[in-house]
């Protein structure tokens, strides 16, 4: 890994270089294939206040480039914040690569259907017919349906009365019941 440290409008002291080298070493813990790291520290003065800008440019093999820029009035604070942001970016890239949950949809389907014969299941389902008699077609008294509707949270009930007509009993907004 090549490390390049550049100071603009600023002389790099041994303490600053040591702090930057410690920051670079903390980035190597993600076992990424880092080709080079370029660090540029710029000192600017606006309205008689000093501001420092720290820029990390991290070149990764086969994954592109990560660029982190951080500004602060304190140089060491700017370096620390830029290092944290670079670690976070590298951690995200590392987690994307090592995430074992990311398997393809076709592979997941094949794994789920392994050892299952879908034709046999389909044939078994077609052979079994279960007759069901619906409650809707049984004639019911209006009073019975009214009691059921009062005891439930339903807004209406559809039924066939004893004369063979399809009827609807419903709750009205005024608290009374209507019958179609």
CATH code of the domain containing 143: 3.30.505.50
The reply to whether 7 and 94 lie within a common domain is yes
Rounded average pLDDT over 117-128:
70
pLDDT of residue 87: 93
Calpha distance 169→156 (Å, rounded) = 6
Considering only residues 164 and 16, tell me which one the structure prediction assigns the higher pLDDT: 16
> Mind listing the pLDDT tens digit for each residue in 142-175?
888 899 888 888 888 888 888 888 888 898 888 8
Domain encompassing residue 169? 135-179
Count of the separate structural domains present in the chain: 2
The reply to whether 91 and 15 lie within a common domain is yes
The reply to whether 90 and 144 lie within a common domain is no
Residue 82 belongs to some domain of the structure? yes
CB of 159 closer than 8 Å to CB of 145: yes
Residue 34 belongs to some domain of the structure? yes
Residue 91 belongs to some domain of the structure? yes
Calpha distance 110→53 (Å, rounded) = 52
Of the ranges 40-44, 135-139, 166-170, the best mean pLDDT one: 40-44
Distance of CA 34 to the CA centre of its chain: 28
| Cα dihedral 150, 151, 154, 160 sign | negative
Residue 166 belongs to some domain of the structure? yes
CB of 20 closer than 8 Å to CB of 43: no
The reply to whether 149 and 82 lie within a common domain is no
Average pLDDT value over all residues in the chain: 85
β 49-60/64-72 pair status: antiparallel
């Amino acid at each position: 890994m090549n490390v390049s440290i550049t100071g603009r409008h600023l002389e790099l002291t041994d303490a600053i270089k040591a702090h930057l080298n410690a920051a670079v070493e903390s980035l190597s813990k993600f076992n990424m294939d880092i080709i080079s790291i370029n660090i540029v520290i710029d000192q600017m003065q606006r309205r008689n206040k000093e501001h420092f800008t720290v820029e990390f440019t991290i070149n990764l093999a086969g994954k592109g480039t990560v660029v982190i820029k951080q500004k602060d009035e304190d140089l060491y604070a700017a370096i620390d914040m830029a290092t944290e942001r670079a670690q976070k970016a590298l951690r995200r890239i590392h987690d994307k690569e090592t995430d074992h949950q990311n398997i393809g949809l076709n592979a997941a389907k094949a794994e789920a259907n392994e050892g299952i014969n879908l034709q046999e299941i389909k044939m078994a389902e077609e052979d079994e017919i279960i007759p069901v008699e619906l409650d809707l077609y049984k004639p019911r008294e209006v009073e019975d349906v009214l009691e059921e509707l009062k005891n439930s949270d339903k807004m209406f009930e559809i039924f066939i009365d004893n004369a063979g007509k399809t009827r609807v009993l419903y709750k009205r907004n005024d608290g009374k019941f209507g019958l179609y």
